[in-house]
Every structure is written in C-alpha cells, then in structure tokens.
C-alpha cells in the first residue's frame, strides 16, 4: 500500500488513484455536457461534406503557428544566455507538447526545461523560459479573446468580458514589471535548486516581442479554426474575429482545467456553448465541429511529437519520465 509520504514524494498529480479519479470525473462531465445532443448531431452529420483543401490549409496554418511559438521560446532562452538550434528546439518542443495529455499540464513545462538543459542550456534559463513562455501564452490568449469578441462571449457567459479584461490588465502589468521582478526570483530559484544564476537577464524588448508572438499565435489558431470549420461544416458562418475569440476562449477553458488531459471535454463543451450562444452555429453543427476539431488538433499535436520522440536515442526516451 502506498504511504502518505510516498504520495507526497511522487507529487499529487502523479498518484495513480488520483489520475484515475480525475479521468473518471472528466468522462462524467463529457457525458453530461453532450447528453441529449445526439439527435441534433446525427441530423447535422448527414449534411457534412468534408472539403479537404480547407482542412489542408487549416493544418498548414497550425503548423506555422507551432513554428512561431517555438521561435518565441528560443527568444526567451537566448535572452537568458541559452541557445538552441532551431531543429533541436523543434524536437524538444514537439515532444514536450505531448505533455498536454497528462493531468496537471505540468509535464509539458517540465519536459521543456529538462530537455533544454540536456542540450547545454543553463538550468535557470531552461526552467525560466519554459514557465514564462506558458504564462505569456495564457495572458496573450485572454487579451486576444477580449479584443476579438468579448462582447459576444459575454452575452453567452455573463462576466466573461470583465474577467478577461482583468486578466489582460494583470498580464500587461506583469509584462511591464517582469524585468524588475525576474532577477530576484531567478536568484532564489538558483539558490534553491543549486544551479548557476543565468549570465544574462531578459530585456523588456525580448519580453514584449515574445508576448506579441504569442498573441499572433492565437490569431493564427483562430484563422485555422475558421478554415477547418469551412471544410467540415460549411453552414457555419460568421465574423472571422468572432471565430478567433470563440476558439481562443474555449481553448483557454480547456487548458485551465488542469485535471483534464488536453482539456478533453471541457474545451469542446465551451466551444459548443460559445458557437451556439453567439449565433454562429446550430447545436448539432457546433457539436460536430467541437468533436472533429478535437480529433484534427490532436493529430497535429501528437504526430510531430511521436516523430520527434522516435528520433531520440533509446536511453534519452527512457529518461523522459523523470521530467515529471
């Protein structure tokens, strides 16, 4: 029997019983969220006619967004004195992206840090860039959702606009304060973990450039989603800005539900709610789009990661779980 001490040593998120319970909770939510929508979905499915040229364009857009996010991460690494060749950064980032499917979402950040450190990047730079890149991405997402369609989303979920505005303001203030706050935080981290202090400190220019690239990535994701919708459910139409806002908001909902692997169920439920609420789609079409876009994005997340993972030597693959 696992002792409480062992439970704490492994970390709360990694206890098998807790993982099973959280997955069960996710399954119950999915069943509840889509209960009663099967008839509408079947009726809409009969009219589905996939146009692969739109799917291909959407997929190419998502892969371009990945390239932008990888470059943003490299900029943060370089700002702290770390350097990675772009092909190496692609391999690390795509492997770490597989961590979205582990409850807690922390494996992805940890894997970025550990794998970068194994390539000679200073430990502080590797950990700082991984964590800061995630925070910048989330903050930029709230900003994009506010700018692109907070009023429409607020009509679906009252309070969204105020909450997103507050999160955006916090994000902007945080980016402005980071050049002053980061040095003492990193010094504390270095002392606690016994790793050398980073030789360089991030400049405000690097921070704002990375924030801008993360904001652009959300715009790219939204455009890709609109293209995908056109290829799967041509009846769905609306303002492209609203599509960007809907996708961004639903993605953030799924990401912030930490216990659900990849935001499974929660992202789709939010996407359906927002699409129907703003009048962009009927219930059946929205459910179909939520389910099919999940499959599409999962393939685009998992396949590059598996290819990169298989390219690693067996000894490095075996060591990956220690990134948890």
- DSSP, residue by residue, 259-301: TSGGGTTHHHHHHHHHHHHTTSS-HHHHHHHHHHHHHHHHHHH
Q: What is the pLDDT of residues 232-269, one digit of tens each?
A: 886 666 678 888 988 998 888 888 777 666 677 778 88
CA 247 vs. chain centroid, Å, equals 12
- Res 166: pLDDT: 79
Q: Is the pLDDT of residue 156 over 70?
A: no
The pLDDT score that the predictor gives to residue 9 is 38
Residue 11 lies in a domain: no
Cβ(114)–Cβ(184) under 8 Å? no
157 part of a folded domain: yes
Q: Above pLDDT 90, what percent of the chain? A: 17
Q: What distance in Å separates the CA atoms of residue 203 and residue 113, rounded to the nearest whole number?
A: 20
Computed over every residue of the chain, the mean pLDDT equals 75
pLDDT of residue 21: 57
Number of separate domains in the chain: 1
Q: Read off the tokens for 267.
A: 């992202």
111 inside domain: yes
* 64 pLDDT more than 70: yes
Angle at 251 between CA 145 and CA 58, to 5 degrees: 90
Given a cut of 70, whether residue 35 has pLDDT beyond it is no
273-287 b/e (C-beta count within 10 Å ≥ 16 → b): bbbbbbebbbbbbbb
Indicate whether 9 belongs to any domain: no
Domain range spanning residue 288? 40-323
Q: What is the pTM of this model?
A: 0.77
In a domain, 140, yes or no: yes
**Residue 239 belongs to some domain of the structure:** yes
213 Cβ neighbours under 8 A, 6+ residues apart: 68, 69, 71, 72, 75
| pLDDT reading at 121 higher than 50 | yes
Domain-embedded: residue 128: yes
Listed range (59-68, 148-157, 202-211, 233-242) with the worst mean pLDDT: 148-157
84: left (phi over 0), alpha (psi -120 to 50) or beta: beta
Query: Is 7 part of a structural domain of the chain?
Result: no
The pLDDT value given to residue 151 = 63
pLDDT for 239 equals: 74
**Could you tell me if 242 and 146 are in contact, meaning their C-beta atoms sit under 8 angstroms apart?**
no
């Amino acid at each position: 029997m696992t002792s409480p001490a062992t439970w704490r040593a492994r970390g709360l998120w990694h206890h098998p019983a807790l993982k099973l319970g959280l997955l069960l909770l996710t399954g119950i939510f999915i069943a509840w969220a889509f209960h009663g929508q099967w008839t509408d979905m079947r009726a809409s499915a009969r009219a589905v006619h996939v146009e692969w040229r739109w799917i291909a364009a959407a997929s190419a857009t998502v892969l371009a967004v990945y390239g932008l996010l990888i470059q943003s991460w490299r900029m943060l690494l370089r700002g702290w004195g770390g350097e990675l060749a772009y092909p190496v950064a692609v391999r690390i980032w795509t492997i770490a992206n597989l961590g979205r499917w582990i409850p807690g979402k922390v494996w992805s950040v940890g894997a970025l840090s550990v794998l970068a450190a194994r390539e000679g990047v200073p430990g502080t730079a590797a950990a700082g860039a991984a964590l800061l890149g995630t925070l910048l991405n989330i903050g930029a997402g709230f900003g994009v959702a506010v700018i692109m369609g907070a009023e429409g989303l607020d009509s679906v979920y009252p309070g969204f606009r105020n909450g997103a505005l507050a999160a955006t303001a916090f994000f902007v203030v945080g980016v402005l304060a980071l050049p002053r706050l980061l040095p003492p935080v990193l010094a504390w981290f270095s002392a606690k973990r016994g790793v050398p202090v980073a030789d360089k400190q991030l400049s405000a220019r690097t921070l704002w450039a990375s924030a801008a690239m993360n904001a652009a990535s959300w715009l790219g994701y939204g455009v890709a989603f609109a293209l995908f919708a056109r290829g799967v459910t041509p009846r769905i139409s609306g303002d492209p800005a609203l599509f960007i806002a809907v996708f961004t908001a639903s993605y953030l909902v799924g990401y912030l539900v930490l216990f659900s692997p990849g935001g499974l169920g929660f992202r789709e439920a939010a996407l359906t709610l927002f699409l129907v609420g703003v009048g962009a789609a009927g219930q059946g079409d929205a459910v179909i789009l939520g389910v099919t876009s999940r499959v599409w994005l999962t393939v685009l997340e998992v396949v590059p990661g598996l290819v990169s993972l298989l390219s690693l030597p067996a000894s490095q693959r075996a060591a990956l779980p220690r990134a948890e």
